[in-house]
Amino acid sequence: MSIIFGIRESPGASVSEQELRDLALPTERYAADGLAVYSHGRVGMGFQPYHTHQRSRLETGPLADQRGSLVAFDGRLDNYEELCRELRTDGELSDTAIILASYLRWGRECFSHFIGDWALALWSGAEQVLYLARDHAGTRSLYFNDQDGTLVWSTYLDSFFIGVRPRELDEQYVACYLAASPVRELTPYKGIRSVPPAHYLMFAQHSQSQAAHWQWMSNRTVQYQSDREYEEHFFALFEKAVERRDQPGAPILAQLSGGMDSTSIVCMSDYIRRSRNNSPELLDTVSFFDDSEPNWNEKPFFTLVEARRGKTGFHIETSFRDRSFHPHNPARGSYFLPGVDSATVEREQRIMAELGGAEYRCVLSGVGGDELLGGVPTATPELGDYLVAGRLSALLKKSLEWSLIDRTPIIHILFETARSVVDLYSPMSTPDEAMPPWMSEKLRQACARLTREDTLIRGRFGVRPSSVGSSRAWWSVMETLPHLYPGSLSRPEYRYPLLDRDLVDFLLSVPREQILRPGYKRSLMRRSLRGIVPREILDRRRKGYQIRGPLAAMQQSYTEIDTLLTGSRIAASGLIDMSKARQALELTGRGHEAKWWRPLMRAINLELWIRGNESILAVH
């Protein structure tokens, strides 16, 4: 993806082009297609292009109009033709020009009109207001820091570490990270925040506010007469979602895991390309595997897909056991978020070598399928709808069907449905027993408070339970998108067909019984893609997952981890109780108990990351 950045100063001050060029230095290696900067008075913006589709070459940099508005844009507007018709403008306009025209037409309501993958900064000279916005799914990152009247923003965190003293560690982020709670707009650095997906932020001179431009929780329902109509609609939207992200203009690499989501994307791309050309060039794919992990044996499945499509992809063996449990060396690579160690750079180098040095600018990812398409076989959302609507006969009938499939007493299903509905409409909370026992009381209170104040997924009366549940699943996806955790050596543009806005709007509106049926998870997807996706993939009972590798790595490296925790920086700062953490490590490392291995790994990751970033991070 391209990189946007900028500065807004206080009234009376000005931004120079040299300041903008300096701001571009940390990220110039990730956008090889040039640099454009523009400054006017107290506002300046920069653009580092990274061309990934044909229309991206229309972008020349920040664009100003005669009213004093200025826009920098990173992304792709999929509905640019429709926008041009509504605006009665030339269809050959760049997306940035379309955004300027849209703002002139609709004001701040323009953001809801943009369908695609994007992030932008827009300065309104008339209002003297800066807008920062991200698309509905947050497929582009965008961070900002407002300090002493100077507001700085950028696509990447790298831009905030130019000639500044070490940043203070944000304890709210630490609390959420250690408890595996959503971090939302928080970053590890106090004062630096992320623009939330589906929102725009408004920065006036003495105020900051935010508003949603897309709704993830609604009561809108798509009703058809037959299954066939739902299947045809899903197929058409999924085909469009893949086509939008599989355009000429830059080399594309598709992830192929052998699961239903990535396989469906690759097979749909093949279907589209073959419908246009009898001898098309099919997508290149990359598949990761670990033969030592019994629960992650994906090789038979992705090789089956390769055989059916007639093209072998890259196979890269990777294992959690490759971890080093030593801090990374910042001289070899910069990593601004936890989850790295001294072997991270070597893993990046090995993957690049396995890909033969090819520069793939785009990666197609299947993230989102489990959450949106019924990958988790639970009946409570659908049954909750019947309960709230007072459809008791339908509730009893469906509960009986699920009871027979799951071999669960019907009274238990009804009780769980009622409990789930109450939970959905109650204030969110993180039970104290769900937090790792080694978290300090200060962090526990911070995590509990942030959870209570989280309004994004709080159920609203009048909204059906399945919609509330789907919105919670949606925001859980927003925490896991791989582009949010960029590498140091290369940063390709990630594309997520299953998060396409038109497709998501449809999936959030169809009756739950279309998505998931008793004994038949992912019902709509399986029915719709028969004939496109191999039957062996559609009929898989479950997807592979990793557990043996992480546990084995912790057990094999017990001594190293214990040494690491002995001089822990986060313990010295009073953020964790080291005696309790080491007790959990003892139980896990000796193979006696695995209950806390995931939170323990987070504590280890945070410790490693802090030690590798002591030159830019202040931990008190």
Annotate 496-526 with three-state secondary structure.
CHHHCHHHHHHHCCCCHHHHCECCECCHHHH
CA angle in degrees (0–180, nearest 5) for 303-305-309: 115
Tokens matching residue 405: 């499939």
List, in sequence order, every beta strand (DSSP E) within 219-353.
252-255, 284-289, 314-317
E strand segments, 296-419:
314-317, 362-364
* φ, ψ (nearest 5 deg) of residue 177: -65, -50
Q: SS3 for 130? A: strand
How far is Cα 538 from Cα 398, in angstroms, rounded to an integer?
24
In degrees, to the nearest 5, what angle opens at C-alpha 284 toward C-alphas 279 and 288?
145
In the chain, DSSP finds a helix count (H) and a strand count (E) of 23, 19
Tokens coding 138:
């947050």
Nearest-angstrom CA–CA distance, 490 and 333? 11
Q: What CA–CA distance (Å, rounded) separates 456 from 466?
A: 15
Query: Sign of torsion, CA 51 54 58 63?
Result: negative
Q: What is the residue type of 471? A: S
Q: Going by C-beta distance under 8 Å and a sequence separation of 6 or more, which residues neighbour residue 38?
A: 17, 44, 45, 46, 61, 62, 64, 70
Kindly list the distances between the CA atom of residue 44 and the CA atoms of 23, 27, 103, 159, 318, in Å, as whole numbers in the listed order: 11, 17, 19, 15, 43
Note whether 27 and 156 are within 8 A (CB): yes
Bridge partners, residue 116, by sequence: 77
Residue 65 marked ligand-binding: no
Residue found under tokens 């000005």: 14
Binding residues: 95
Binding residues for L-glutamine: 95
